[in-house]
A = this chain, B = another copy of it.
Amino acid sequence: MYYAVIFTSTRTEIEEGYVEMAIKMVELAKEQPGFLGMESARNEIGITVSYWESLEAIKSWKANTEHLLAQEKGKSTWYKNYKVRIAKVEREYEF
C-alpha cells in the first residue's frame, strides 16, 4: 500500500528557469525518504504523479525548504493554476 500525489497544472508563457527547476525538483524528490517514483507528461495540461510510501513522506516533501521556494516561484511565475490530489493506491494491474 502506497500513496500517489497527482499534480495537474497549466503553465504560464514564462519559460525562464522552469526546466532547470523542474529537473532540480525531480532530483531532490528522489533523495527524499519514502520516495517511490515519479511520472510526468505535458501537452495542453501537465500531469505529474509521484509515488510515496506514506502520508508522512509526502508531508516532509511538501515542507522541504528548497521545494517550498520552488512552490512559491511556481505560483508567482510558472503556473496559471494547479491542483494537487493525495490518493491512497488501493489496487493496480498492468499489461
List chain A positions with a Cβ less than 8 A from chain B.
3-4, 6, 8, 39-47, 49, 55, 74-75, 79, 81-95
Q: Which residues of B contact A43 (CB under 8 A)?
A: 41-43
* Nearest CB in chain B: distance from A89 CB, A: 5
Q: Is the interface of A mostly helix, strand, loop or mixed?
A: strand
Inter-chain CA distance A93–B75, complex, in Å, is 13
Q: Which residues of B contact A39 (CB under 8 A)?
A: 8, 45, 47
Inter-chain CA distance A22–B77, complex, in Å, is 33
The residue in chain B whose Cβ has the minimal distance to the Cβ of A9 is: B95
5 nearest interchain CB pairs?
Answer: A87-B87, A41-B41, A83-B94, A85-B92, A47-B47
Known contacts A94-B81, A95-B82; A6/B49 CB under 8 A? yes
Contact of A88 with B88 in the complex, beta carbons under 8 Å: yes
Q: Which residues of B contact A95 (CB under 8 A)?
A: 74-75, 79, 81-83
